[in-house]
Amino acid sequence: MTVKVSSVGLKGLEGYRVQVEVRISPGTESMIIVGLPDASVKESRERVIAALSHFGADVTDMKVVVNLSPSEQKKNGPLFDLAIGIAALKELGVIEGEIPRETAFIGALSLDGTVEKAEGMLPAIVSAKELGIKQIYFPHDPLIPIHMMEDLECIVVHHIEEVVHHLDGQDSLSFLPPYEPSNSIPSIPEPYQKDFCHVIGHEYPKRALEIAAAGEHNVLMSGPPGCGKSLLAETFPSILPSLTNKAQLQVISLYQLAGEKRLFHQSVPFRHPHHSASSVAIIGGGSSPRPGEISLAHKGVLFLDEIAEFTKKTLDMLRQPLETGKVTISRAHSTVTYPSSFLLVGAMNPCPCGYLGSNNHYCTCSPKQIQAYRNRLSGPVYDRIDILLSLQSINLEQPSKQQESSAVIRKRIAEAREFQYQRYQSEISNAKVPFEILSEKSPLTNEQQKMLSKVSAKQNWSNRVQIKIIRLARTISDLAGEEFITDSSIWEAFSLRRLSVQKQQSIARET
């Protein structure tokens, strides 16, 4: 007889059901694991046999065959230990009760039968719910938010003996923490260290960043050193709406797969890699592909300071993730896809010396140097950026009006996002929604289309840039509470694109 028990395997962030089949028959003493197991899965033999001895189960002079199905999918990690041990105990008759097909087991085993946590547990548990699994046994991990697992019965265990007793109807789970419903544990947003009320001046850049946050539009800021580019970028996350429960689970899962810690809070991730980071660190990769910075910034912000100092190869590798919201990493042994729907904020100087167009310093760069510096960002990368901002230094001696706090701005942005979610019947923003749906829900009038075509021809804008203008105009209208795209929103979208680095390039060519 063959016993079948369910578990969950991982391919990147995507989980799949693994059917653990165990057959024990008389023969030469051995334990064979088939189904494309890696070294860590093959080592389960010793751990499982040692755990079986805790029940007095003797597999001496027995041949144990373990099949991990689907056979064509490569298995890695010790997550299958518990499922193999339970299937073997059922085959040996130690477990008398039936094991439902909708029940899954994940976790590593120690030699004394203790169930240990392993890498990738949270994404496996989240995937289990999507795979139709109703009940799952796993070891305790304080980083797993059990209270957020709706429609999934989570049974936390400390020892394999507790699993056996529970399957036989004996509720002796001494290590099971009390279940607390999600509404009793409010997720407290991480306190932001910077607030827009502390940023003096820069009224137009603040407005542009508000629009970017409302529609998830990418931003590139250009200006002389010390004008406030980094300050604005680092304050930017404070106006972004909090993550939903589903987004939090996805973000924490990515951090666990990358081997990084992230506290359980609702604030969006903010990644700030140095320009010396390799393309693998930014995009992801390795022999066993892990998430990179763009995936760790999923549902949040990726800030590339001194973006022109990144290698051209690395910047061009951002083109596909910026367009599709995911990245596929192919290696000799595996191909995985990670989500990477991030909001890109870039900052750079207008020229190598940094003072092109400055009111206080003289630029010493030649037109050829300026053009070479600008060409580090290719045309396709520029096309994928929605808002291009040119900043200037602020005179701190001038009196400034009362600055709005991030909380006030965040409230307006949350309302604009809600308009978008209702319009598209999904949690998707104007910058990410397919253009066909955007055109259907918010068509331009004939006059607006003519106006867009005329300005685009004058500015030599590509079709992609024209689409981004429409997306920007839709977001500006949402912030104003308008049902349709207005003429004024289109003109403001034009200004967000015209006050750009392209203007500075033309200045450089004329000097």
* C-alpha closest to that of 348 among 220, 232, 227: 220
Same domain, 214 and 134: no
Q: How much is the average pLDDT of 103-115? A: 94
CA angle 10, 83, 24 (to 5 degrees): 125
CATH classification at residue 309:
3.40.50.300
Cβ atoms of 36 and 45 closer than 8 Å: no
The yes-or-no verdict on residue 311 having pLDDT over 50 is: yes
Q: How much is the average pLDDT of 373-391? A: 91
Model confidence band, residue 397 (pLDDT cutoffs 50, 70, 90): low
Which residues make Cβ contacts (< 8 Å) with residue 320, sequence separation at least 6? Answer: 327, 328
Residue-level pLDDT at 494: 94
Strand partners, 155: 137
Residue-level pLDDT at 392: 86
User: What pTM was computed for the model?
Assistant: 0.87
155, with CB counted inside 10 A (0-12, 13-18, 19+), is middle
CB 398: neighbour CB atoms within 10 A? 8
Q: How much is the average pLDDT of 121-143? A: 91
Quote the number of domains for the chain.
2
Same domain, 344 and 293: yes
The yes-or-no verdict on residue 235 having pLDDT over 80 is: yes
The parent domain of residue 318 ranges over: 196-510
Alpha-carbon gap, residue 138 to 134, rounded angstroms: 13
Q: How much is the average pLDDT of 21-50? A: 90
User: In the chain, pLDDT over 70 holds for what percent of residues?
Assistant: 92
Same domain, 207 and 77: no
Alpha-carbon gap, residue 266 to 252, rounded angstroms: 11
Residue-level pLDDT at 176: 44
Q: How much is the average pLDDT of 343-361? A: 89
Same domain, 177 and 203: no
The yes-or-no verdict on residue 181 having pLDDT over 80 is: no
The first and second tokens of residue 56, run together, are: 């007095």
Packed helices 367-374 and 501-510: angle between N→C axes, nearest 10 degrees:
160
User: In the chain, pLDDT over 90 holds for what percent of residues?
Assistant: 62
Residue-level pLDDT at 479: 96
Same domain, 410 and 500: yes
Same domain, 387 and 491: yes
Q: Is the dihedral of CA 315, 320, 325, 328 positive or negative?
A: negative
The yes-or-no verdict on residue 116 having pLDDT over 70 is: yes
Same domain, 141 and 212: no
Give the mean pLDDT of the chain: 88
Per-residue 3-state assignment (H helix, E strand, C coil) for 30-60: EEEEECCECHHHHCHHHHHHHHHHHHCCCCC
Alpha-carbon gap, residue 411 to 240, rounded angstroms: 9
Residue-level pLDDT at 286: 82
Alpha-carbon gap, residue 97 to 76, rounded angstroms: 29
Model confidence band, residue 143 (pLDDT cutoffs 50, 70, 90): confident
Q: What is the per-residue pLDDT across 403-450, written as a single tens digit (0 to 9) for each? A: 889 999 999 999 999 999 999 999 999 999 999 999 999 999 999 999
3-state secondary structure of 477: helix
The yes-or-no verdict on residue 334 having pLDDT over 80 is: no
Q: Which residue has the higher pLDDT, 157 or 191?
A: 157
Cβ atoms of 385 and 501 closer than 8 Å: no
Residue-level pLDDT at 150: 81
The yes-or-no verdict on residue 283 having pLDDT over 90 is: yes
The first and second tokens of residue 461, run together, are: 């804008």
Model confidence band, residue 138 (pLDDT cutoffs 50, 70, 90): very high
Q: How much is the average pLDDT of 126-145? A: 90
Alpha-carbon gap, residue 294 to 1, rounded angstroms: 48
Phi, psi of 52 (to 5 degrees): -65, -35
Same domain, 327 and 466: yes
Same domain, 345 and 487: yes
Q: What is the per-residue pLDDT across 51-101, written as a single tens digit (0 to 9) for each? A: 988 888 778 788 999 999 999 888 988 999 999 999 999 999 999 888 999
Same domain, 221 and 99: no
501 is a domain residue: yes
Same domain, 178 and 204: no
Same domain, 203 and 263: yes
Q: How much is the average pLDDT of 315-337? A: 89
Residue-level pLDDT at 172: 55
Q: How far is C-alpha 260 from the geometric centre of its chain's CA atoms?
A: 13
The yes-or-no verdict on residue 174 having pLDDT over 80 is: no
